[in-house]
Amino acid sequence: MSKAEGTRNLQSKLRPIVNYSLTDQVETKLLDLFKKEDLRSGDPIPKENELCEAMGVSRTVIREALTRLKTIGLIESKKNKGMILTEPDLLIGLDKLLQPKILSEETLQDMFEMRLALEMGIAELVFARIKPQDILDLKAILKTEKDYKEDLEMDFEARFHGRIYAIARNNTLLRFQSMLLPIFKYVHDKGLKLKEEELPKNYVTHSIIVKVLETGNPEKYRDAMKRHLKVHFDRTIKIRKLLE
Amino acid sequence: MSKAEGTRNLQSKLRPIVNYSLTDQVETKLLDLFKKEDLRSGDPIPKENELCEAMGVSRTVIREALTRLKTIGLIESKKNKGMILTEPDLLIGLDKLLQPKILSEETLQDMFEMRLALEMGIAELVFARIKPQDILDLKAILKTEKDYKEDLEMDFEARFHGRIYAIARNNTLLRFQSMLLPIFKYVHDKGLKLKEEELPKNYVTHSIIVKVLETGNPEKYRDAMKRHLKVHFDRTIKIRKLLE
DNA sequence: AACATATAATATGTAATACATAATACATAA
DNA sequence: TTATGTATTATGTATTACATATTATATGTT
């Protein structure tokens, strides 16, 4: 029996000790408390000193746990007022993380695909909620397309597609999409940029998409968007295959 | 001029003071540093004491800022080793927030719609990556459908649809979907549960979906899934209209 | 009585110091 | 050479004190 095997064997008998720090414990206790008390957004939570006494730990630890909860947007604190539960922002912190430099290629790929999927998937919502003004806005954006030269091309894409997302009237989705922009820019700058010649014959332009939005239906939209994004789909599928 | 108007007028001249706490400032400075130094996942960052000296603030403040960055998964700390930048987990913290109780109806709605959109949108990825084993697994799951009675119905839904997401081979997406489960369960329990009689005539069953996955194509899948989810789409669209 | 101003009380924010603890490197002895 | 003991180091926790912003109360002036 090798040394490694011996260790593994020992492990199965002893089980490694998981070391929850005091802060970890306080954090979970707080979350439990909120759930048990059935607290809602706006409800006040105990003072720091009360928590210290109740849990028998220093204010340092309490504050560290509270800092975590503040960071994910679950609570807010005001001097003298104390702290209250808040409607958390699901996308909080995401903007700080979405810097391509620190994300792995795999995660970038994941996010890129999610965007592609969403762009196709919002068809039903878009057609259920589109209004005349949306078309007008999109047409106005179209007119500016030629003003975006070379390296600004991505900015146009962002504006155009962002405006489509807005039609879905889903604020979380809209913000999510806008946060993903740096990633697409990165992917784009990294060589995704496709020369005109490489575009497939039945390529769907932005202008065609607007037309479909104006006169089409979800099925036609999905078909158009699929062609519009085809190169991206092809690429991501090829890349992922290589990684296997 | 009313008192309120006077205040507004004064505000426009003086601009309210935005009070960045020391911790806020340290946090941004740290993020700037990481970007400026072009640090990558795994790279070490300065020790707490070094940061104290460099920025001229107490360790308390430094640690609070660091706690925030740890919370969003940007850095990790180990005793004696110091701290390193880490590949952040984009979905970190999300599970703590996705308790329906503290989320507003609007946000719940948003998330629900995102899920619907994704389910439709992943068609291309699914068909590009599906393997025989996927079909086998899905068929096995299908066989257990009758075992899930009444209140466990959602568990079956989760298993089935979760398995479909897995076909897309996108880990972030898969985890995202699984985190959303409590929300769907909530929406379901809240009265979404649809009696058999309410199902539309051309309702697509789970079994049909599997068949489409086996022998169809993205278009047919989207069509099937659209019918399968029709009641949900209809409901969310109706609700959102009422909120306008 | 009405109003502005001063004062006190309160809870979070910041600082400073000391010690505990885990991980690593190094030294030591069998 | 190897296992064990020891020192060192950086983070984790505790304690105390004070700063600061907000609210409530009290005070005083007209």
Protein-contacted bases of chain D (C-beta within 7 A): 8-16, 20-23
Stretch among A4-13, A54-63, B44-53, B61-70 having the lowest mean pLDDT:
A4-13
Q: What is the pLDDT averaged over residues B183-207?
A: 71
What pLDDT, on the 0 to 100 scale, is given for residue B132?
97
User: Does residue A17 register a pLDDT over 70?
Assistant: no
- Going by C-alpha positions, the residue among B120, B131, B156 that lies closest to residue B141 is B156
Whose structure tokens read 């599928």? A237
Contact across the interface for A68 and B72, Cβ inside 8 Å = no
A201 is near strand C: CB distance < 7 Å: no
Contact across the interface for B71 and A72, Cβ inside 8 Å = yes
State which residue of chain B sits closest to A175, comparing Cα positions: B110
Stretch among A10-24, A64-78, A90-104, A171-185 having the lowest mean pLDDT:
A10-24
Count of Cβ atoms closer than 10 Å to residue B45 Cβ: 21
Cα–Cα distance for residue pair B206/B204, rounded to 1 Å = 7
Instruction: Look over chain B and give the mean of its residue pLDDT values, rounded to a whole number.
Output: 85
Stretch among B84-98, B133-147, B202-216 having the lowest mean pLDDT:
B84-98
Cα–Cα distance for residue pair A217/A75, rounded to 1 Å = 43
- φ, ψ (nearest 5 deg) of residue A76: -130, 150
User: Does residue A88 register a pLDDT over 90?
Assistant: no
What pLDDT, on the 0 to 100 scale, is given for residue B10?
47
User: Does residue A31 register a pLDDT over 80?
Assistant: yes
What pLDDT, on the 0 to 100 scale, is given for residue A12?
59
Round and report the angstrom distance from CA (A220) to C1' (C15): 64
Mutation for B interface: A79, A90, A227, most B CBs within 10 A: A90
A77 is near strand C: CB distance < 7 Å: yes
Which residue approaches D14 most closely, CA to C1'? A58
Mutation for A interface: B79, B95, B170, B219, most A CBs within 10 A: B170
State which residue of chain B sits closest to A59, comparing Cα positions: B60
Contact across the interface for A71 and B74, Cβ inside 8 Å = no
B80 is near strand D: CB distance < 7 Å: yes
Q: Where would I find the H helices in chain A?
A: 3-14, 22-36, 48-55, 59-71, 94-97, 105-121, 123-129, 132-143, 153-167, 171-187, 206-215, 218-228, 230-243
Round and report the angstrom distance from CA (B3) to C1' (C2): 18
A236 is near strand D: CB distance < 7 Å: no
- H/E stretch holding A45 reads strand A44-45
What pLDDT, on the 0 to 100 scale, is given for residue B4?
43
- Nearest nucleotide over every DNA/RNA strand to the A3 CA, judged by C1': D2
When pLDDT is cut at 50, 70 and 90, the band that residue B225 belongs to is very high
Instruction: Look over chain A and give the mean of its residue pLDDT values, rounded to a whole number.
Output: 85
Stretch among A4-8, A186-190, B128-132, B207-211 having the lowest mean pLDDT:
A4-8
For residue range A142-197, what is the model confidence (pLDDT) as tens digits? 999 888 877 787 889 899 999 999 999 999 999 999 988 888 888 777 655 545 55
What pLDDT, on the 0 to 100 scale, is given for residue B190?
67
A58 is near strand D: CB distance < 7 Å: yes
| Cβ neighbours of residue A103 closer than 8 Å, sequence gap 6 or more | A97, A111, A183, B87, B88, B90
User: Does residue A232 register a pLDDT over 90?
Assistant: no
Q: Beta strand pairing status for A44-45 and A82-85?
A: antiparallel
Round and report the angstrom distance from CA (A84) to C1' (C11): 13
Contact across the interface for A97 and B118, Cβ inside 8 Å = no
| Cβ neighbours of residue B162 closer than 8 Å, sequence gap 6 or more | B174, B177, B178, B181
Secondary structure class of B97 (helix, strand, coil)? helix
For residue range A46-78, what is the model confidence (pLDDT) as tens digits? 999 999 988 888 899 999 999 999 998 899 988
Domains and CATH numbers, chain A: 3-85 (1.10.10.10), 94-243 (1.20.120.530)
Stretch among A20-29, A186-195, A202-211, B199-208 having the lowest mean pLDDT:
A186-195
Please count the residues of chain A.
Answer: 244
Stretch among B17-26, B63-72, B82-91 having the lowest mean pLDDT:
B17-26
What pLDDT, on the 0 to 100 scale, is given for residue A193?
52
Cα–Cα distance for residue pair B106/B112, rounded to 1 Å = 10
Which residue approaches D22 most closely, CA to C1'? A80
CB-nearest to A102 from B40, B71, B119 is B40
What pLDDT, on the 0 to 100 scale, is given for residue B82?
87
Round and report the angstrom distance from CA (A80) to C1' (D25): 16
Taking the CA of residue B5 and the nearest CA in chain A, the distance in Å comes to: 26
Contact across the interface for A119 and B121, Cβ inside 8 Å = yes
Round and report the angstrom distance from CA (A27) to C1' (D12): 15
- Per CB-CB distance under 8 Å, the chain A contacts of B169 are 240
